[in-house]
Amino acid sequence: MASLTSIATPYPSSSQALRLKSSGNTLFSAGVRSAAMGSGQKTFKIQCTSTKPAKPAAEVDWRQKRELLLEKRVRSVDVKEAQRLQKENNFVILDVRPEAEYKAGHPPGAINVEMYRLIREWTAWDIARRLGFAFFGIFSGTEENPEFIQSVEAKLDKEAKIIVACSSAGTMKPTQNLPEGQQSRSLIAAYLLVLNGYKNVFHLEGGIYTWGKEGLPVETIEED
């Protein structure tokens, strides 16, 4: 029987599954220092769950996201124009806020797909993130929803006319204090949509907060 005499140690920066093949008594692979084994050809797969996963959309540089949004002609509309487009041109308002906020009040006919959700997994990386939130007194840490696009695709096809909305929204418009605008959950969602082939994406300027402030109709959903 082969015996393991040393343990493969992944480098801290590695975040991929590593495939190791035996060659004599020593195994070598990117992200792994070494491991010695007895004779015999064996293949192993190691998942480095303690390391950070691929960069989420929120961490992509805002200038890069804004450039793509402008290139794809994503346009910001105010709440009254959004209401008109919804009524007259079959636009769908995609509310990307957490489900609880959506249920508390949303534009009539809006659909909800969370851009961020509560952290669900319990890998070492996720535990570390929970501890980081807890350090600041936040015990319901969130993460970018990895199923966001799949959930949207289940409800809306790529030709759908979409107005993306969040709480107060950011802006692509330059100002003196913000020469490149300011990102938000809805703009990050819009970026993901155009990146994945959606062709008719608009952005709700001012967000759901402004929708309510302007006295436009709001629907609520009662909790069971």
Contacts of 68 (CB under 8 A, 6+ apart): 191, 194, 195
The yes-or-no verdict on residue 172 having pLDDT over 50 is: yes
Q: pLDDT value at position 37?
A: 41
Reported pTM: 0.67
Helices (H), 89-171: 99-104, 124-135, 148-155
Q: Is 166 a catalytic residue?
A: yes
Dist. CA 2–CA 4, nearest whole Å: 7
Average pLDDT, integer, range 178-195: 93
Average pLDDT, integer, range 116-130: 55
pLDDT confidence tier of residue 113, bands split at 50, 70 and 90: very high
Average pLDDT, integer, range 39-52: 44
Q: pLDDT value at position 176?
A: 87
pLDDT confidence tier of residue 16, bands split at 50, 70 and 90: very low
Q: Which residue has the higher pLDDT, 162 or 34?
A: 162
- Residue of 27, 166, 187, 208 with catalytic role: 166
